[in-house]
Amino acid sequence: MAMRAQLEGKGKGNGKGFPIRAVIGLFVALSVLAFFLSNNTFFRSSEQVYQQTINPPNAKRPDRQTSNLQHSKTQPIPITLSCESPTATVCERRSTPMPTPHLTTSYNSPSCPEYFRWIHDDLRHWKSTGITREMIENAHEYATFRLVVLDGRVYVQEYYGKFMTRNVFSLWGILQLVNRYPGRVPDLDLMFNCMDQPAVKSFEYNSSTPPPVFHYCNNDKTWDILFPDWSFWGWPEINIKPWASLLKEMKEANEEMKWIDREPYAFWRGNPHMGGNRFDLLKCNVTNEHDWNARIYAQDWKQEEKQGFRHSDLARQCDNRYRIYVDGLAWSVSQKYIMACNSPTLFLDTPWIEFFQRGLVPGHHYWPIRGNNKCRAIKVAVDFGNGHHAEAQAMGKASSDFFQEEVKMDFVYDYMLHLLTEYAKLLRFKPSVPENATELCLESIACRAPTNVKKFLLESMEKTTHEAEPCSLPPPFTTEELQQMQERKANAAKEVAVLEEEANKF
Contacts with ligand NAG by CB under 6 A lie at: 203-204, 206, 282, 285-286, 296-298, 435-436
In the bound state with ligand NAG, the residue whose beta carbon lies nearer, of 206 and 479, is 206
In the bound state with ligand NAG, the residue whose beta carbon lies nearer, of 334 and 393, is 334
The answer to whether residues 188 and 431 touch, using CB atoms and an 8 Å cutoff, is yes
Q: How far apart are CA 396 and CA 400, in angstroms?
A: 6
In the bound state with ligand NAG, the residue whose beta carbon lies nearer, of 273 and 388, is 273
In the bound state with ligand NAG, the residue whose beta carbon lies nearer, of 171 and 185, is 171
Distance of CA 286 to the CA centre of its chain: 32
In the bound state with ligand NAG, the residue whose beta carbon lies nearer, of 16 and 448, is 16
10 Å CB burial of residue 134 (0-12, 13-18, 19+) is exposed
In the bound state with ligand NAG, the residue whose beta carbon lies nearer, of 153 and 278, is 278
In the bound state with ligand NAG, the residue whose beta carbon lies nearer, of 139 and 296, is 296
Minimum CB–partner distance for residue 140 and ligand NAG (Å): 9
- Sheet strands side by side (includes 294-298): 294-298, 263-270, 320-325, 346-348, 367-369
Q: Which long-range contacts (CB under 8 A, 24 or more apart) does 124-131 make?
A: 125/205, 125/209, 125/210, 125/212, 125/223, 126/209, 126/212, 126/426, 127/426, 129/209, 130/426, 130/427, 130/428, 131/212, 131/423, 131/426, 131/427, 131/428
In the bound state with ligand NAG, the residue whose beta carbon lies nearer, of 31 and 444, is 31
3-state secondary structure of 83: coil
Q: How far apart are CA 167 and CA 252, in angstroms?
A: 31
Q: How far apart are CA 278 and CA 272, in angstroms?
A: 5
Beta pairing class for 263-270 and 320-325: parallel
- Sheet strands side by side (includes 153-158): 225-226, 214-215, 188-192, 145-150, 153-158, 438-440
In the bound state with ligand NAG, the residue whose beta carbon lies nearer, of 238 and 294, is 294
3-state secondary structure of 335: helix
Beta bridge partners of 366: 362
Minimum CB–partner distance for residue 237 and ligand NAG (Å): 22
Minimum CB–partner distance for residue 138 and ligand NAG (Å): 13
Residue type present at position 388: H
DSSP of 273-294, one letter per residue?
Answer: TSSHHHHHHHTTB--SS---SE
The answer to whether residues 241 and 456 touch, using CB atoms and an 8 Å cutoff, is yes
In the bound state with ligand NAG, the residue whose beta carbon lies nearer, of 41 and 208, is 208
Minimum CB–partner distance for residue 188 and ligand NAG (Å): 18
In the bound state with ligand NAG, the residue whose beta carbon lies nearer, of 137 and 459, is 137
Q: How far apart are CA 21 and CA 330, in angstroms?
A: 10
Minimum CB–partner distance for residue 362 and ligand NAG (Å): 27
Minimum CB–partner distance for residue 414 and ligand NAG (Å): 33
In the bound state with ligand NAG, the residue whose beta carbon lies nearer, of 98 and 298, is 298
Minimum CB–partner distance for residue 288 and ligand NAG (Å): 9
Q: How far apart are CA 163 and CA 6, in angstroms?
A: 8
Minimum CB–partner distance for residue 437 and ligand NAG (Å): 9
Distance of CA 9 to the CA centre of its chain: 25
Minimum CB–partner distance for residue 326 and ligand NAG (Å): 13
Q: How far apart are CA 314 and CA 329, in angstroms?
A: 21
In 430-499, beta strands by DSSP E: 438-440
The answer to whether residues 179 and 152 touch, using CB atoms and an 8 Å cutoff, is no
Minimum CB–partner distance for residue 280 and ligand NAG (Å): 12
3-state secondary structure of 155: strand
Minimum CB–partner distance for residue 199 and ligand NAG (Å): 15
> Residue 446 CB: number of other CB atoms within 10 A?
20
Minimum CB–partner distance for residue 56 and ligand NAG (Å): 37
